[in-house]
Amino acid sequence: MSTTVTTPIGSGEAAPGPRLNYLTNGHSLKSWLLTEDHKRIAILYLISVSFFFMLGGAFAGMIRYELTSPAGNVFESDAYNRIFTAHGAIMVFLFLLVAVPAVLGNFLVPLMIGARDLAFPRINLLSWYLYTAAGSLILISCISGGVDAGWTFYTPYSSLYSNSNVSLCLVGVFLGGFSSITTGVNFIATVHRMRAPGMTWFRLPLFVWAQYATGIIMMLGTPVVAITLLCVIFERTFQLPIFSPELGGDPVLFQHMFWFYSHPAVYIMVLPSFGVISEVISAFSRKRVFGYHFVAFSSLAIAFLGFLVWGHHMFVTSQSMYQGVAFSLVTFLLAVPSAIKIFNWTATMAKGNIHLNSPMIYAIGFMGLFLIGGLTGLFLAAMGMDVHLTATYFIVAHFHYVMVGGTVMGFLAGLHFWWPKMTGKLFNDNIAKWNAIVVFLGFNLTFFPQFIAGWMGMPRRYHYYYFAPEFQIYNILSTMGATVLGIGFVIPVIYLIKSLFTGAQAGDNPWGAHGLEWQTTSPPPTENFYYSPIITDDVYDYDPVAEHEAIRELGANRQH
Amino acid sequence: MSAHGHADSPVKFQYEDIDQQNDTYVIGMWSFMVTEIMFFGGLFLIYTLYRMNYQGDWWKAHEHLDWRLGGINTANLLVSSMLMALAVRAAQLKDRIKVMTLLSMVVACGGLFMAIKYVEYSGKIVDHLYPGPSFTTNPEILHGANLNHAQLFYGLYFGMTGLHGVHVIVGMLIISFLIKFWYQKKKVVTEDYIPTELIGLYWHFVDIVWIFLYPLFYLMPKPFTVLGGH
Amino acid sequence: MAKSPLHAAEGHAHEIHPVSMYVRTALILAFFMVLTIVAAQVNFGEILTGHNRQYGYYVNNLVAVGIAAIKAFIVVMFFMHLKWASSTAKVWALMGFFFLPVLFSVFCDYGTRTHEQVDGWIPGQSETALPRVIGSRDQEHLDPRFANDQNRNPKSSLY
Amino acid sequence: MNLANFPFSPPAASNFAGEMDTLFYAILALSTVFAVVTFAYVIFYAIKYRAGSSADRSSPVYENMKLELIWIGFPTILAIIFFVWGAKVYADLRIPPKDAKEIYVVGKQWMWHIQHPNGVRENNTLHVPIDTDIKLTMIAQDVIHAFYIPAFRTQFMVVPGRYTQMWFRPTMIGKFHLFCNMYCGAQHSEMGGSVIVMSKRDYAEWLANNGSMRQNLTPIQAGEKLFSKIGCGNCHGPADLPPRSPSLFGLYNKTREMDNGQKFVADETYIRESILRPGEKLLKGYANTMPMYDKQLTEDEVMALIAFIKGGAVPSLPASNIAASVPGHEAQVNGKAGLNSNALEFNAEGADATPTSRGKDLSVGAMAAEKGDQKR
């Protein structure tokens, strides 16, 4: 029951033996820092992304601690503003936009399509260096003096009024954008031209479809925000207010151009996670993804429609109400492809053989959180409702449900799923399962109260609320949840790192999954495959009925 | 493993054959140029909006620009584009001397372009037409345009032509390296014309941007609002 | 290694074109360059008369941008060999030109903002808030409904 | 637990609250059903079809066009229904009734200046009568702010450089929160106060008391005072004097023809532009002789001038009515006199008379000054 027929070039029977894999192929620092191997670059990304996630999380902790008291606990307003900006900028530009595409995508896209590497390995390395430069600049700007413009950098505050390190931070975001563009170009060229023989478009794993759609958004959206932010740097440097009314500019134009990218950017964050979830659900249900074509095309539909909805961030910014109506309609329609995905995943589980390993628990958690995140989007898409809810904690909760509940849960699910493939080691699945439940519960405790606080009218980015003590109960609940959530994010670091030293050997296919990436060794060799794969069958060639029979005959769960 | 990864083979190890590699390179380059289109597109958007809002003032401010210099540069880039295309053709024919000659002429055209830009810019800078606090307060220079709106105009003028100029300089640097590679008979370029073709694509793109910048900045029609006043 | 059908190059990207093709293309481009300079000297605003006069400016701009677009198309097709490139490359080249209008749809906002403040609107009766003719500030003679409405207050003459 | 101490819904105090809450709870019900049913299915399948269970797995389905169409079509229809509903509520929120009572709001870092039609001014507190349509005409003096009243379920951004409007009809007497809901700098969270809804009689009394106590000028009076102070009347008299100066009598809402044939309605934005940058749109038959007042007038002053011109621009008040100002009682709100009538003395040194030019140094100065004042 194999997905592929491999054409052995040497002897097909011989076991690979102790050949070099990509991790052992060179141990010097130089062999890592100048590597052109997509898998090593993915590991470099994994390390840097995790660092920034922890850092952003620390800033989030400070925010939550500060908000337990209506009159603030420790920080001055200025410091608080710098902290939430640092949290937002680091999390959005250095974690969410990068995590799944650059770590899992980099590692898996060539493996899944049977290529030896991405199309442009050197550009891939350049992308990591750009990311590192971006990260350093944003980090320096946030730590030495700080940035207080908020991660959205609305003009004219960011351009003419803020006295903080906005320009430096913007240069960082600009470079990060180019890192994103190079990744996108690489994925698109790779998916178009590097597929193994027989890997037709409709045999591509849904993860690859999602990465492809993500690449389109990265390519088309990122340059626009890059030029917009360049204009803000220009404004700050030359005192030429392009986006402020002093000389006749229009501050709302900045918001148009910013959200033209930054709304599709939300899909750069969640689409790859959708791909991960498709893979995980299908692998652990031992069943072909229900409605493959619909799931694949819904990714493209989201990528396309995602470009037509940016104005729903601007219903109260004096944008024309007629254009607002159009944006609202498309936003509602955009809910449909997301719904298609959720329904198809649910249907995939029906009549499967569901193995509740940790990646599956994370994926189920993802579905629960993303359902809430997506459905609360309906409140905000309804224009009238949005007038009351926009820029309140309702928005904060909504996008955390989408970004943390979507991207981070998807990232964790994917990381657990492919960890044996990436490192060749097995981690403690029992701890991971319980941790997934802790993250799910902690997350809900953190962000659900914020929905209520937002509905009651608590504005976001508020340092004090001593004039409205009724918000306190929700903030305390939220901080309690954040503590649990923080623990839930630290534990995986411990058991995953521990597995590197004490974990059992994973073998090629520990989960019994059917992707092309599971056909090669764990960890894969530098060339990815010892044989040139030729694909003759579907990617999700599972047979739940036969497997059920097999399990019954064995009388035991395959995983135990 | 098959015969991939030889140091001097133009085929990189991740590709099956030269056709696949060339196809991939061309697709990669085109998708990169799509990002460039969107990059300049943002500036064109700002330009269009403010031009619509301040037609009269922008027209008056544009009177200070010299359409003849811009025209020379347009012709200059047009010739350089043709030379670039011919260089690619020579690369297809593996005619090394011809490629190097033509590419050198392309770089020379780029140099001439930047020299003319230098003349234009220095004239503006002498007149304090660069945006910022020291922007000129003399409306005579700007033919009576509102100084705020003229400053927006010159901000975008310097921004857009400056960004284009940066692209020209980058292109000249890349082409210089290309000439060096041809001179050193590097197999990357001599065995396969695609690297030359890709750099050509970039150079043509720079030309296309100027094709739009020229009429938008140098050849503004006289708007209705100004017409009526005379 | 055997060349799989998947990797077969589409089109004839490697064709070598005669020098005359490039020279001819350059000459056509030069012609359009002269044309755009000439068209800029002609002022359609002065040629058109009466009520149409104000559209002359737009005609001028459309001509200028249109000629630039034709020139860009010629460069893309012949100098950049898109005519002979694979269909995938064609699709990607088009992608930018497709999404640029999406970005420019911002102007739907600026074009309709004028009509935010519509007098005569009765809350709950949405048909009373229909947009009037976009971009025109003197609507009396265009929309008879508002001919005699002296208190009409279309907001904002700025945008 | 006493629900009064653990509220989960803001007070419903305006005409929008009803329709907004209905919409909210409708979407809430729909989302809850969707989320619960879908997630219940996920959990149910995860348990029923866990590996090794004896559930029936025969004839699994991988594609079902009918099912797909159902779950594409059904959400689409629901989405369109809620879109129409949301858009309808939005249209009500955006478009004020014609005869609404107009109150001017100026937002600046970090306070709200509010001016009532009869000239009573207040900072960070908005007094409004119940059951009256109120239209707020708003502009910001520096960065973008947002005027947000959760109890009224409405907010709108306050943008520098152009007027925005919002409206509401309070339906409940009481004191409600007023927030700035667009991040605007260091003291963003304290840029707010309260909206006090009073009975119509109380409001009238409050207006009268405040008026007599502080001898405030109405916007029209303030505008007239400024009009004569900066000498507008020297040129703009009762009659048109081409090519020097057109009369401003009854200018508001007239259609004006420019020298290039374009026509504009003389609305607030037109008048504002004509004051600040008179050369922008030249009236037919007139030369560009008027000086620019850009960067020389505060937004409050421009609003006052506009109010005067809207009122007909006819000098009507005897000079004695323009009384000297008395410092206002807003001192307790933020430690210094806010935009009361002494702001209309138009001395540029006054903290409130920040000119519309907003150089960096100016904003820093204002920031530092207010920081000292607003320390908790």
> At D105, which helix (H) or strand (E)?
strand D101-108
Give tens-digit pLDDT for B28-77: 999 999 999 999 999 999 999 888 888 888 888 888 888 999 999 999 99
Instruction: Give C153's contacts in chain D (Cβ within 8 Å).
Output: 253, 265, 267
**Any chain A CB within 8 A of the CB of B34?**
yes
Tokens encoding C94: 């088009």
Q: Do A192 and C103 touch (CB under 8 A)?
A: no
Residue D180: strand pairing partners: D147
Q: Is the pLDDT of residue C89 over 90?
A: no
User: Is the peptide bond prior to D219 cis by the omega test (within 30 degrees of 0)?
Assistant: no
Residue A380: pLDDT band with limits 50, 70, 90: very high
Tokens encoding B51: 């031009």
Residue B1: pLDDT band with limits 50, 70, 90: very low
Q: Quick one: pLDDT at residue A18?
A: 59
Give tens-digit pLDDT for D127-141: 999 999 999 988 888
Tokens encoding A344: 């198809």
Tally the C-alpha atoms within 13 A of residue A108's C-alpha that lie toward its C-beta: 31
Q: CB-based contacts of A123: which residues, under 8 Å, 6+ apart?
A: A182, A185, A186
Chain C residue nearest residue B200, CA to CA: C80
Chain B residue nearest residue A187, CA to CA: B28
The per-residue b/e assignment along A329-344, b for 16 or more CB within 10 angstroms, e otherwise, is: bbbbbbbbbbbbbbbb
Best probe of the A interface among C109, C110, C115, by most A CBs < 10 A, is C109
Q: Quick one: pLDDT at residue A348?
A: 92
pLDDT higher at A482 or B9: A482
pLDDT higher at C54 or C116: C54
Selection from A489, A486, A457, C120 nearest residue D179 by Cα = A457
Tokens encoding A271: 């689409």
Maximum Cα–Cα distance across chain D? 98
Contact B107, B81 (CB under 8 A): no
With respect to residue A240, please indicate whether it lies within any of the assigned structural domains.
yes
pLDDT higher at B228 or A374: A374
Chain A residue nearest residue C87, CA to CA: A192
Contact A259, A266 (CB under 8 A): no
Specify the number of domains making up chain A. Answer: 1
**Any chain A CB within 8 A of the CB of B17?**
no
Q: Nearest CB to B35: which of A116, A120, A181?
A: A181
Selection from A103, A90, A94 nearest residue A58 by Cα = A90
Q: Quick one: pLDDT at residue D198?
A: 92
Q: How far is D275 from chain C (nearest CA, A)?
A: 14
Q: Quick one: pLDDT at residue D216?
A: 59
Distance CA B187, CA B96 (A): 12
CA distances (Å), origin D315, targets D29, D236, D249: 59, 11, 10
Selection from A237, A254, A233, A258 nearest residue A245 by Cα = A254
Q: Quick one: pLDDT at residue D148?
A: 94
Handedness of CA A234, A238, A239, A245 (dihedral sign): negative
Show which subunits contact D, needing at least 3 CB pairs below 8 angstroms: A, B, C
Q: Do D10 and A372 touch (CB under 8 A)?
A: no
**Any chain C CB within 8 A of the CB of B5?**
no
Q: Quick one: pLDDT at residue D295?
A: 66
**Any chain A CB within 8 A of the CB of B1?**
yes
Q: Which CATH class is domain B18-222?
A: mainly alpha
In this structure, what DSSP letter does residue D137 have? E
With respect to residue A296, please indicate whether it lies within any of the assigned structural domains.
yes
Q: Quick one: pLDDT at residue C132?
A: 30
Q: Quick one: pLDDT at residue D215?
A: 52
Q: To the nearest 10°, the Cα dihedral for C131, C137, C138, C144?
A: 0
Contact A374, A400 (CB under 8 A): no
pLDDT higher at D115 or A105: A105
Q: Which of A115-129, A248-262, D355-369 has the lowest mean pLDDT?
A: D355-369
Best probe of the A interface among D22, D72, D78, D144, by most A CBs < 10 A, is D144
Chain C residue nearest residue D168, CA to CA: C123
Strands D164-168 and D255-257: unpaired
Residue A9: pLDDT band with limits 50, 70, 90: very low
Q: How far is D261 from chain C (nearest CA, A)?
A: 9
Chain A to chain D Cβ contacts (< 8 Å)? 302
C36 three-class SS: helix
Question: What mean pLDDT do residues D336-357 have?
Answer: 34
Contact B42, C103 (CB under 8 A): yes
Distance CA B136, CA B127 (A): 7
Instruction: Give B82's contacts in chain C (Cβ within 8 Å).
Output: 22-23, 25-26, 79
Distance CA B79, CA B100 (A): 16
Q: Quick one: pLDDT at residue C52?
A: 64
Instruction: Give B149's contacts in chain A (Cβ within 8 Å).
Output: 247-248
| CATH label of the domain that carries residue A341 | 1.20.210.10
In this structure, what DSSP letter does residue A101 have? I
Instruction: Give D261's contacts in chain C (Cβ within 8 Å).
Output: 53-54
Q: Quick one: pLDDT at residue A555?
A: 57
Chain A residue nearest residue B16, CA to CA: A194
Residue A421: pLDDT band with limits 50, 70, 90: very high
Q: Nearest CB to C116: which of A193, A199, A320?
A: A320
Q: Quick one: pLDDT at residue C45?
A: 67
Q: Is the pLDDT of residue A17 over 60?
A: no
| Secondary structure (DSSP) of B14-66 | T-SSHHHHHHHHHHHHHHHHHHHHHHHHHHHHHHHHHHHHTHHHHHHHHTTS-
Chain C residue nearest residue A327, CA to CA: C109
Give tens-digit pLDDT for A230-287: 999 988 888 777 887 777 788 889 999 999 999 999 999 999 999 999 999 999 998 8
Q: Nearest CB to B45: which of C14, C60, C104?
A: C104
pLDDT higher at D294 or A444: A444
A462 three-class SS: coil
With respect to residue A35, please indicate whether it lies within any of the assigned structural domains.
no
Selection from A335, A333, A403, A417 nearest residue A369 by Cα = A403
Strands D154-158 and D134-140: unpaired
Q: Do D160 and A156 touch (CB under 8 A)?
A: yes
Q: Is the pLDDT of residue C109 over 90?
A: no
Instruction: Give D28's contacts in chain A (Cβ within 8 Å).
Output: 379
Q: What is the residue whose two structure tokens read 């594409």?
A: D72
**Any chain B CB within 8 A of the CB of C72?**
yes
Contact B31, C85 (CB under 8 A): no
With respect to residue A31, please indicate whether it lies within any of the assigned structural domains.
no
Residue A557: pLDDT band with limits 50, 70, 90: very low
Q: Is the pLDDT of residue C10 over 60?
A: no
Q: Do B228 and D258 touch (CB under 8 A)?
A: yes
> What distance, in Å, lies between the first and last C-alpha atoms of chain C?
63
Distance CA D122, CA A405 (A): 45
Question: What mean pLDDT do residues B83-98 have?
Answer: 93
Residue D305: pLDDT band with limits 50, 70, 90: confident
Q: Quick one: pLDDT at residue D351?
A: 34
Residue D349: pLDDT band with limits 50, 70, 90: very low
pLDDT higher at A154 or D55: A154
Instruction: Give D262's contacts in chain C (Cβ within 8 Å).
Output: 54, 137
Q: Quick one: pLDDT at residue D334?
A: 33
Q: Nearest CB to A240: which of B54, B149, B155?
A: B155
Structural domains in chain D plus CATH codes = 1-46+96-215+358-376 (2.60.40.420), 219-320 (1.10.760.10)
Q: Is the pLDDT of residue C8 over 60?
A: no
Show which subunits contact A, needing at least 3 CB pairs below 8 angstroms: B, C, D
Q: Do A220 and C99 touch (CB under 8 A)?
A: yes
Q: What is the residue whose two structure tokens read 């544009």?
A: B62
Selection from D110, D68, D90 nearest residue A161 by Cα = D110
Show which subunits contact B, needing at least 3 CB pairs below 8 angstroms: A, C, D
Selection from D174, D103, D97 nearest residue D139 by Cα = D103
Q: Nearest CB to B31: which of A118, A219, A253?
A: A219
Q: What is the residue whose two structure tokens read 């623990």?
A: A487
Instruction: Give A321's contacts in chain C (Cβ within 8 Å).
Output: 112, 116
Distance CA D145, CA D163 (A): 12
Question: What mean pLDDT do residues D93-117 have?
Answer: 85
Distance CA D70, CA C115 (A): 39
Q: How many residues does chain D have?
A: 376
Q: Nearest CB to D261: which of B146, B148, B228?
A: B228
Q: Quick one: pLDDT at residue B43?
A: 93
Residue B226: pLDDT band with limits 50, 70, 90: low
Q: CB-based contacts of D48: which residues, under 8 Å, 6+ apart?
A: D55
Residue D115: strand pairing partners: D104, D121
Q: Nearest CB to B46: which of A246, A248, A253?
A: A253
Q: Quick one: pLDDT at residue B117?
A: 95
**Any chain C CB within 8 A of the CB of B201?**
yes
Q: Is the pLDDT of residue D213 over 50?
A: no
pLDDT higher at A83 or C42: A83
Q: How far is A361 from chain D (nearest CA, A)?
A: 10
Q: Which of A52-56, A475-479, D11-15, D357-361 has the lowest mean pLDDT?
A: D357-361
Q: Is the pLDDT of residue C130 over 60?
A: no
Contact A321, C116 (CB under 8 A): yes
Selection from D60, D247, B89, D64 nearest residue A287 by Cα = D60
Q: Nearest CB to B146: which of D259, D262, D279?
A: D279
Give tens-digit pLDDT for D233-253: 777 877 777 777 788 877 877
**Any chain A CB within 8 A of the CB of B26?**
no
Selection from D277, C53, A247, D285 nearest residue B222 by Cα = C53
Q: Do D163 and C156 touch (CB under 8 A)?
A: yes
The percent of residues in chain D predicted with pLDDT above 70, rounded, is: 78
Contact B121, C54 (CB under 8 A): no
Distance CA B47, CA B40 (A): 11
Give the residue numbers spanning the domain of A66: 40-554
CA distances (Å), origin A460, targets A391, D157, D180: 6, 15, 10
Chain A residue nearest residue B133, CA to CA: A239
Contact A357, A422 (CB under 8 A): no
Q: Quick one: pLDDT at residue C116?
A: 40
Contact B3, B12 (CB under 8 A): no
Question: What mean pLDDT do residues D133-152 have?
Answer: 90
In this structure, what DSSP letter does residue A425 have? B
With respect to residue A291, please indicate whether it lies within any of the assigned structural domains.
yes
Give tens-digit pLDDT for A155-203: 889 988 888 889 999 999 999 999 999 999 999 999 998 999 889 999 9
Q: Quick one: pLDDT at residue D29?
A: 94
Q: Quick one: pLDDT at residue A276?
A: 95
pLDDT higher at D300 or A490: A490
Question: What mean pLDDT do residues A332-361 have?
Answer: 92
Q: Name the average pLDDT for chain A.
A: 89
Q: Do B229 and D259 touch (CB under 8 A)?
A: yes
Give tens-digit pLDDT for B178-220: 999 999 998 888 888 899 999 999 999 999 999 999 999 998 8
ipTM: 0.85
CA distances (Å), origin C3, targets A52, B27, C9, D292: 44, 19, 10, 74
Distance CA A460, CA A391 (A): 6
Chain D residue nearest residue C120, CA to CA: D98
Q: Do A246 and B148 touch (CB under 8 A)?
A: yes
Q: Do B228 and D259 touch (CB under 8 A)?
A: yes
Q: Name the average pLDDT for chain B.
A: 87
Best probe of the D interface among A77, A315, A362, by most D CBs < 10 A, is A77
In this structure, what DSSP letter does residue A406 have? I
Q: Which of A336-350, B86-100, D205-219 has the lowest mean pLDDT?
A: D205-219
Number of H helices, E strands in chain A: 17, 2
User: Is the peptide bond prior to D243 cis by the omega test (within 30 degrees of 0)?
Assistant: yes
Distance CA B167, CA B32 (A): 14
Q: Which residues in chain D (20-59) have CB-CB distances under 8 A to chain A? A: 20, 23-24, 27-28, 30-31, 34-35, 38-39, 41-43, 45-46, 49-52, 55-58
Selection from D264, B159, C114, C159 nearest residue A251 by Cα = C159
Give tens-digit pLDDT for A127-148: 999 999 999 999 999 988 889 9
Question: What mean pLDDT do residues B145-172 have?
Answer: 91
Q: Is the pLDDT of residue C151 over 70?
A: no
Chain C to chain D Cβ contacts (< 8 Å)? 58
